[in-house]
Homo-oligomer: A and B are copies of this chain.
Amino acid sequence: MKRNRTIVSVLSLLAVILCVSWVNRAEEGEKVLFTNSISEDATPAVLARIMQAKENSISEIKFEKGTYHFYPDKGQEEFCHISNHCDVMVSTAFPIRDFKNLTIDGQGSTFIFHGIMIPFLIDQSKNITVKNLSVDWHEPFYSEGLIIANDEVKKTFDMQISEAYPYEIRNDQIYFIKEYYEHSLGQTILFDPARKAIAYNTEAYTNLTTVKKASVSRYTENIKYKYEVDLRSPEYKNLGRENRLFVEELKPGVVRIHNHGKKMPQVGMILTAKGEQGFNRVAPAFRVTHTYGFNANNVTVHHAGGMGLIAENSADLILDHFNVTPSNGRMVSTTADATHFVGCRGKVELKNCILTNQLDDASNIHGTYQKIVDVLDDYRIGVRMGHSQQQGFQIGIPKDTLGLVRLSNSFFPYNHLTIKSTEYINGRYQIITLNEKLPVEVQVGDLIENLTAYPELLVENCIISGNRARGLLLSTPKKTVIRNNFFSTEMEALLIPVESGHWYESGNGANIKITGNVFQDCNHSGLNRGIIRFETDDDNENIAFNNIEITNNKINHFDNLILEISNTNNLIFKNNTIVNSGTFPMLYPENPAIKVKSSKNIVFEDNTYSGDAELILASDESIPNLKFH
């Protein structure tokens, strides 16, 4: 039986090779057309042609409209350090490396992936366009259970699991079994199927409290490390911890979960689980690295086991009608951010995108901080990647300007230097050679950031809703325009942070124009935060954000707090309309509508407030007489 199937598959591969039409041998490369004959597993034929591209270049790859499956078994394998994802061995049929002027046109096709694959792995390329296709997975990297009962006294709730989500119970723990993959409960969140969005006040119910302190840790204090150790790294994930929940099957497809520490999830909600943090981002849909010019047009990512698109060290990324939306009645689209840009430059644009139901931000734009751990000589430093999911990240290219940062003194660099070369030693450690002598004040423990590698950003006419976490995280000081979008997110719609210690994501928002947007019932998951929020994780008075314009927005909010300003200089909030939507009960009725601290030159003009806050504006001693207008 197995042998027969294999023979059939080989015959179909041969058929494919014959079916590939070389429509046109253009000067710049061939225009390749794949037909439905490869649809059962398109991987071998697509990969074979792409691997020949050095000898026989390609300008276009078109697919006859249809549904194409891609399996990992005969895909090209590559171990990838992917920013904000796991470090993982992935398989791909599209290793787009060292390509120039290539268009991939699905002509309306659907690509269905199986297992740990990266649909598009685009590296060291120029001017790449992907259009007219949708990406989905046969089995998703998360699972769903419908809450059908709960008991606040006994601390249990019952969940109905459909046949679409096979599971096992091993030693009182539940594992969801997929093709080529499995996951535990791990990170969980409630969706409200009526709204097809994150449930109101889910923070009171989720994450499920899956772990507690291990019952015995003996002699572990004897283990001494010579160098800094990141206990958040996946290799230490279980250290000192054990499972807190236990799970029993009541009948086939119905399980009871015991010992949850928050409120018991409500009947009728859908619990989504994606497995343990640090292990559950293994298959983003698009990975773009060191690429100048990337366009996605009319592309829909229905699912990915990670982000819809993660771009690193690239420039001029234009996403137009790039949608992230779930398929097949699933609650969840991608299991991480819809889009994410690290160390990119030139322009990043998201236009006319529908980004819904992903399990993390719609977009996050930032650089990285790397920590100086060795001053090797006058020109060389050894740097450590701060977060395990930044392993392998290259901070820049020759001639880029690095800022030397000591956050205890200022959010801004105390000195600038340019890169001569970078030497990759390992995922955590690289040696950087500079063109200029290091200043005398440089200290082990200082951070570097790449000041060249921040992009201009435009987000326009996008719909961002139904997802976990934020709308946009803005950490680029370059010109940023957020215009005519609709936001309905469970956390902040717009978070403008400076943070260093946890994610080591560098950059400070500045020169930002936020205009013409609608903010509808954001922050409904239960966190006490503003919808637009400026925040530093270092508690000081230093200015981090500058030149911000927030105008002509409509804020329909069920709760009071809409805006948190801190460490900001030069902000104008003008012509905005604030309405109480009445959609949900208020969570924090004691809040003012606006909080301001450690800031200067803040102006409010011509706004309309018809919310319910008793105090509209609360400001601290940095700006004591500030008034809302």
- A residues touching B (Cβ–Cβ < 8 Å)? 2-3, 5-7, 9-10, 13-14, 40-41, 47, 51, 69, 71-77, 79, 87, 89, 91, 114, 139, 161, 163, 165-172, 175, 177-182, 214-228, 235, 238-243, 249, 252-253, 373-377, 382, 423, 425-429, 443-445
Contacts and interface: CB of A to CB of B under 8 A. Distances in A.
Contacts of A426: 72-77, 91
Contact of A13 (B40, B225, B374, B429): B374
B14 A377 contact: yes
A235 B218 CA distance: 30
Given A238-B175, A376-B14, A214 B168 contact: yes
A77 B385 CA distance: 14
Contacts of A91: 426
Nearest to A221: B166
Contact of A252 (B169, B218, B253, B377): B218
A10 B75 contact: no
Contact of A223 (B40, B74, B178): B178
A153 to B, nearest CB: 25
A87 B87 contact: no
B222 A163 contact: yes
Contacts of A214: 168-170
A18 to B, nearest CB: 11
Contacts of A7: 444
A251 B428 CA distance: 39
Instruction: Name the residue in A175, A177, A178, A217 with the highest tally of chain B Cβ atoms < 10 Å from its Cβ.
Output: A177
A168 B240 contact: yes
A15 to B, nearest CB: 12
Given A179-B225, A374-B6, A242 B77 contact: no
Given A10-B374, A227-B73, A235 B180 contact: yes
10 contacts: A3-B443, A6-B373, A9-B226, A74-B382, A75-B426, A76-B425, A165-B219, A168-B218, A177-B239, A215-B249
B249 A218 contact: yes
B425 A75 contact: yes
Contact of A444 (B10, B219, B429): B10
Contacts of A238: 170, 175, 182
A171 B242 contact: yes
Contacts of A226: 5, 9, 40-41, 69, 71, 73, 114
A166 B219 contact: yes
B73 A223 contact: no
A218 B253 contact: yes
Contact of A77 (B40, B235, B427): B427
A14 B378 CA distance: 12
Contacts of A240: 168
Contacts of A228: 2
A21 B13 CA distance: 60
Contacts of A375: 10
Contacts of A382: 10, 74
Contacts of A40: 226
Instruction: Name the residue in A168, A253, A374 with the highest tally of chain B Cβ atoms < 10 Å from its Cβ.
Output: A168
A3 B168 contact: no
Given A69-B226, A170-B241, 16 more contacts: A7-B444, A10-B444, A14-B376, A73-B226, A74-B429, A76-B425, A76-B426, A79-B79, A87-B89, A91-B426, A166-B220, A168-B216, A168-B239, A171-B242, A177-B220, A216-B249
B376 A167 contact: no
Nearest to A243: B171
B249 A10 contact: no
B216 A167 contact: yes
Contact of A425 (B77, B182, B443, B445): B77
A168 B243 CA distance: 13
B223 A169 contact: no
A168 B218 CA distance: 6
A226 B14 CA distance: 18
A181 to B, nearest CB: 8
Nearest to A217: B168
A47 B6 contact: no
A441 B150 CA distance: 64
A50 B583 CA distance: 66
- Top 7 nearest A-B pairs (CB, nearest first) are A77-B426, A170-B242, A166-B219, A169-B216, A79-B79, A73-B227, A166-B220
A63 B36 CA distance: 63
B444 A3 contact: yes
A167 B214 CA distance: 11
Given A165-B219, A220-B177, A13 B427 contact: no
A167 B217 CA distance: 6
A227 B74 CA distance: 10
Nearest to A246: B171
A223 B175 CA distance: 14
Nearest to A4: B444
Contacts of A2: 228
A168 B227 contact: no
A169 B219 CA distance: 12
A561 B181 CA distance: 46
A408 to B, nearest CB: 13
A252 to B, nearest CB: 6
A116 to B, nearest CB: 9
A9 B227 CA distance: 10
Contacts of A216: 167-169, 249
Nearest to A228: B2
A111 to B, nearest CB: 15
Nearest to A174: B216
A629 B72 CA distance: 59
